[in-house]
């Protein structure tokens, strides 16, 4: 039995994400929660002839039944960007939404694998961690910031450049999930040695600001939804395969480095001691994070990107942590 709850299931990401999850034979119960429209979305999806049961839950009074006993909770709830905004501009609204959903998860599904999509991810993941700590149920191996869209974009953009099928291009991306904190390690991608420094810098910038490309093209109608649904489903299904079906799967994801003490030490040797959350390559298994894998070697250019990312990331993390410290829970 695998119960997955999507919080924000009626939204631009939530609906296609739920559709992709409904396709999976691994899920037995797909629980859809939102503050609007989930009965309709659930009725619609429930007609698809895959075996999972679909239930719809709407509004705070139905949050407990939605989330109770979940094995995986995916959170794409909250507002998206409009042109001219940074992800950090979403903090004011989304921090409270994520805190309240995390509180329900800590109470009713404390062992769930938490997959956080809502922005700003650099801050919302520390918010979930702090809420779980306050409820005495924190396990850093089970809380993930979903940065898979950065990986998906990198596969596409780099694949186009080096003439490979994008699905065969795996690019490690570390750091955070906003602009300069997104650190693509292109030097480790086989075939990238054919790229000039100018090409590397251009494609790095495109990966870092891929979200802005979509926000601009949507022109006020939101940010990436379909590609995010694809990436979110990939990540959630990776967790399910690893946690419940014995597969060892590696994904880059934004975690608290305490999830693996030895891995944390090795990572901090590269990134410095002052950063506690970082997107890293992680081996997933029955407990979530089984181990944090090495970041690997960096080119001089990548090293310079690290330096630029540090201050912003530290500020984002502190903002999330302080928000919960200042909240009455």
214 binds, among ligand NAD, ligand LMR, none (CB under 5 to 8 A by kind): ligand LMR
**Count of residues in contact with ligand NAD, rule CB under 6 A:** 33
Buried-exposed string 195-211: b where 16+ CB fall within 10 A, e elsewhere: beeeebeebbebbbbbb
Cα distances (Å, whole numbers) of residue 4 to 8, 210, 316: 13, 28, 28
Residues 116-175 that bind ligand NAD (CB under 6 A): 117-119, 121, 146, 149
- Whether residue 56 contacts residue 41, with contact meaning beta carbons closer than 8 Å, is answered with yes
Tokens in use for 17?
Answer: 């994400």
253 binds ligand LMR per the rule CB under 6 A: no
177 as an active site residue: the answer is yes
CB of 254 to ligand NAD, least distance (A): 9
10 binds, among ligand NAD, ligand LMR, none (CB under 5 to 8 A by kind): ligand NAD
Which among 111-119, 237-245, 268-276, 303-311 is the span making contact with ligand NAD, rule CB under 6 A? Answer: 111-119
35 binds ligand NAD per the rule CB under 6 A: yes
- Which listed residue (80, 210, 263, 281) binds ligand NAD by CB under 6 A? 80
Which among 3-11, 128-136, 167-175, 188-196 is the span making contact with ligand NAD, rule CB under 6 A? Answer: 3-11
- Report the phi/psi class of residue 288: left, alpha or beta, with left for phi > 0 and alpha for psi in -120 to 50: left
Residue 249, classed as helix, strand or coil, is strand
- Whether residue 180 contacts residue 305, with contact meaning beta carbons closer than 8 Å, is answered with yes
81 binds ligand LMR per the rule CB under 6 A: yes
Tokens in use for 201?
Answer: 């810098």
- Which listed residue (115, 224, 229, 239) binds ligand LMR by CB under 6 A? 224
For residues 111 and 143, give the distance between their C-alpha atoms in angstroms, rounded to a whole number. 10
DSSP classification of residue 79: P
For residues 61 and 30, give the distance between their C-alpha atoms in angstroms, rounded to a whole number. 19
**CA atoms in the 13 A half-sphere facing the CB of 163:** 4
Which among 7-15, 127-135, 209-217, 239-247 is the span making contact with ligand LMR, rule CB under 6 A? Answer: 209-217
What are residue 56's DSSP bridge partners?
32
**Residue (76 or 159) nearer to ligand LMR, CB:** 76
77 binds ligand NAD per the rule CB under 6 A: yes
215 binds, among ligand LMR, ligand NAD, none (CB under 5 to 8 A by kind): ligand LMR
119 binds ligand LMR per the rule CB under 6 A: yes
11 binds ligand NAD per the rule CB under 6 A: yes
Cα distances (Å, whole numbers) of residue 150 to 8, 111, 166, 179, 297: 21, 27, 13, 11, 20
- Binding residues vs ligand LMR (CB under 6 A): 80-81, 87, 119, 149, 211, 214-215, 223-224
- Binding residues vs ligand NAD (CB under 6 A): 7-8, 10-14, 33-36, 76-81, 90, 94, 97, 101, 117-119, 121, 146, 149, 177, 222-225, 228
What are the catalytic residues? 177
């Amino acid at each position: 039995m695998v119960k997955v709850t999507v919080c924000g299931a009626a939204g631009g990401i939530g609906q296609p994400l739920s559709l992709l999850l409904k396709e999976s034979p691994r899920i037995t119960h797909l629980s859809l929660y939102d503050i609007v429209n989930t009965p309709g979305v659930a009725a619609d999806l429930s007609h698809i002839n895959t075996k999972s049961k679909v239930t719809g839950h709407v509004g705070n009074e139905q949050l407990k039944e939605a989330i109770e006993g979940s094995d995986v909770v995916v959170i794409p709830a909250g507002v998206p960007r409009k042109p001219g905004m940074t992800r950090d501009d979403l903090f004011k609204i989304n921090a409270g939404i994520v805190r309240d959903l995390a509180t329900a998860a800590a109470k009713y599904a404390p062992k769930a694998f938490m997959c956080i999509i809502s922005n700003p991810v650099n801050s919302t993941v520390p918010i979930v961690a702090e809420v779980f700590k306050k409820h005495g149920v924190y396990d850093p191996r089970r809380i993930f910031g979903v940065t898979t869209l950065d990986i998906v974009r990198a596969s596409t953009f780099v694949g186009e450049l080096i003439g490979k099928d994008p699905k065969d291009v795996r690019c490690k991306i570390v750091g955070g999930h906003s602009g300069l904190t997104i650190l693509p390690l292109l030097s480790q991608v086989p075939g990238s040695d054919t790229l000039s420094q100018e090409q590397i810098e251009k494609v790095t910038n495109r990966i870092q600001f891929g979200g802005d490309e979509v926000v601009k093209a949507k022109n006020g109608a939101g940010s990436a939804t379909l590609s995010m649904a694809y990436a979110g489903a990939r990540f959630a299904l990776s967790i399910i395969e690893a946690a419940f079906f014995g597969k060892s799967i590696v994904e880059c994801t934004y975690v608290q480095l305490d999830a693996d003490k030895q891995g944390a030490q090795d990572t901090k040797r590269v990134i410095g001691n002052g950063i506690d959350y970082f997107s890293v390559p992680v081996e997933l298994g029955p407990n979530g994070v089984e181990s944090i894998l090495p970041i690997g070697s960096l080119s001089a250019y990548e090293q310079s990107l690290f330096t630029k990312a540090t201050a912003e990331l530290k500020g984002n993390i502190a903002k999330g942590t302080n928000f919960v410290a200042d909240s009455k829970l």
